[in-house]
Homo-oligomer: A and B are copies of this chain.
Amino acid sequence: MLAALAPEYPRGSTFLAVVDPGVGGKRDAIVVSAGGQTFVGPDNGLLSILWQRARARKCFRIAWRPKRLTASFHGRDLFAPVAATLAARRVPGGWLAAKRAPEVLLDEEDLARVIYVDHYGSCMTGIRAKGLSRDARLFVGSRVLRFARTFEEAPAAFWYENSIGLVEVSVARGNAARVLGLRVGQAIRIAG
Q: Does A76 contact B (CB under 8 A)?
A: yes
Q: Give A91-124 interface residues, CB cut-off 8 Å to B.
A: none
**A151, B70: Cβ atoms under 8 Å?**
no
Contact of A149 among B24, B153, B163 (CB under 8 A): B24
Q: Does A52 contact B (CB under 8 A)?
A: no
**B163, A21: Cβ atoms under 8 Å?**
no
Which residue of chain B is the closest to A170 with respect to CB atoms? Answer: B72
Q: Does A23 contact B (CB under 8 A)?
A: yes
- In the complex this chain forms, how many copies of it are found? 3
**B73, A152: Cβ atoms under 8 Å?**
no
Distance (whole angstroms) from the CB of A82 to the closest CB of chain B:
17
Which residue of chain B is the closest to A152 with respect to CB atoms? Answer: B25
Distance (whole angstroms) from the CB of A160 to the closest CB of chain B:
7
Distance (whole angstroms) from the CB of A119 to the closest CB of chain B:
13
Q: Does A36 contact B (CB under 8 A)?
A: no
Q: Give A51-84 interface residues, CB cut-off 8 Å to B.
A: 70-73, 76-77
**B71, A160: Cβ atoms under 8 Å?**
yes
**A71, B23: Cβ atoms under 8 Å?**
no
Interface residues of A (CB under 8 A from B): 21-26, 70-73, 76-77, 149-153, 160-163, 172-173
